[in-house]
Structure 1
């Protein structure tokens, strides 16, 4: 993940100030969204709790397949402090997704105008930045992204002011590239974000319509 920052946007471009963008959040552990999974199970999205969720977080970021997340070398204490800091920002938020109470994914959203990615492209009002770490496999025999796609995209575009999801995975992260294409993202260009060579991609509300329709059918809350 890219280290979060806050910065002042160019007012001439009509970009929102810190915390004024189309992002949802809440208090640590708060339930924000519940979906019915394709297998009939329950998917939930809650605000990350840096204390209660620390065991899950540390186990995930320490695994070899999470190397692109860039936090594998952190101690438990440092990881907890990092996510407590993220939770204190008005522009960056973190959430834990569970499938039938089992943790499966970490989602982070952010306001691109207040993030290093703003140096890599022209931010538009309505842009929602997202990072995604897949930590679990979900129940056997299920197509994980048939469930997670509508949940994640539906949540990112939940605010009617949100018009486009922005992602920038590492250029070497082939799994993330395949996942974003499966969800309908369009690749824009290779860019430099902080100290990372990344692949910039966008998913507009219009292109996300099938996922949003699936989310509307699955949502319980």
Structure 2
């Protein structure tokens, strides 16, 4: 696998197919009434925290989170548009190093189905391009970990946010970019989601470079977690410790 934080999957993207029963981010369907309650809670909570902008869904819009100034350049998240981004993301998914952890190699239709499942879903997972100095060079999934099947496997807290990441270009791997982007995205989440007390990720425990990248980005190793498709390292970035790590 690529070196350290240049690992292609510093989160927990879909792993190679293990059959139709494998849980992933979109397998858990919540009743409309329960979703409405979560949305109400988000709106009232944001207003209580002094935010006058109402939240219309479960995760709001990462495109509105602004940019982060990093040592590698200005960085921001751009929500995926299939007609614009499919070929690029599919090409990344067919990189053997990426495919080993995401399991989405194949024709464009494989990646398209994965993206559409999120884009047509209830808003709990948002696929984004990571744009560094104006160049799309990474792929992120920002998701509500507390509403995800992963919440069944660790002591989830309300408003936990999870992230998955792959670095697209080989030239951007192995030089510290992954850790830089992980820290930037975690900071964007914490700055824009006032009720989120921590950002989590669950890289495959065997993916030592990914775990190292998260540690370098200010995450702490919390536990080993048995997920349906892998044994994962639960990585946590706490709001309370963000200035210390």
Name the TM-score class by shorter chain: 0.7 to 0.9
In structure 2, the CA distance between the partners of 1:110 and 1:19, relative to structure 1 (3 Å rule), is farther
Compared with structure 1, are the counterparts of its residues 61 and 115 closer, same or farther at alpha carbon in structure 2 (3 Å cutoff)?
A: same
Q: Hey, what's the Cα distance between the residues in 1 that align with 2:108 and 2:39?
A: 29
The answer to whether structure 1 residue 176 and structure 2 residue 223 are counterparts is no
Q: Aligned residue pairs: how many?
A: 200
Q: Distance in 2 between matches of 1:38 and 1:113?
A: 31
Deviation at 1:147, TM superposition (A): 4.3
Alignment-derived partner of residue 133 in structure 1? 166
- The alignment status of 1:81 with 2:101, answered yes or no, reads no
TM-score, normalised to structure 1, is: 0.77
Tell me the residue number matched to 2:92: 60
Deviations 1:132-167 (A, max 9, x none): 112236779x75257424421122222111110111
Partner of 1:17: 38
Deviation of residue 168 (structure 1)?
0.5
Q: Where do 1:19-168 residues align within 5 Å? A: 23-25=59-61, 30=63, 32-38=65-71, 41-66=73-98, 67-72=100-105, 74-89=106-121, 90-136=123-169, 143-145=176-178, 147-157=180-190, 158-168=192-202
Q: Which runs of 5+ in 1 are unaligned?
A: 10-15, 212-221
Residue 24 of structure 1 and its aligned partner are, at CA, apart by 3.3
**What is the CA-CA distance between 1:69 and the residue it aligns to?**
1.7
Which structure has more RCO (C-alpha within 8 Å, separation ≥ 6)? 2
Structure 2 unmatched ranges of 5 or more: 1-12, 15-23, 32-36, 43-57
Structure 1 position 93, deviation (Å) = 1.0
- Cα gap change, 1:83 to 1:127, in 2 (>3 Å): same
- Give the TM-score of the pair, scaled to structure 2: 0.70
Task: Specify the alignment match of 1:197 in structure 2.
Answer: 231
Distance 1:111 1:18 in 2: 13
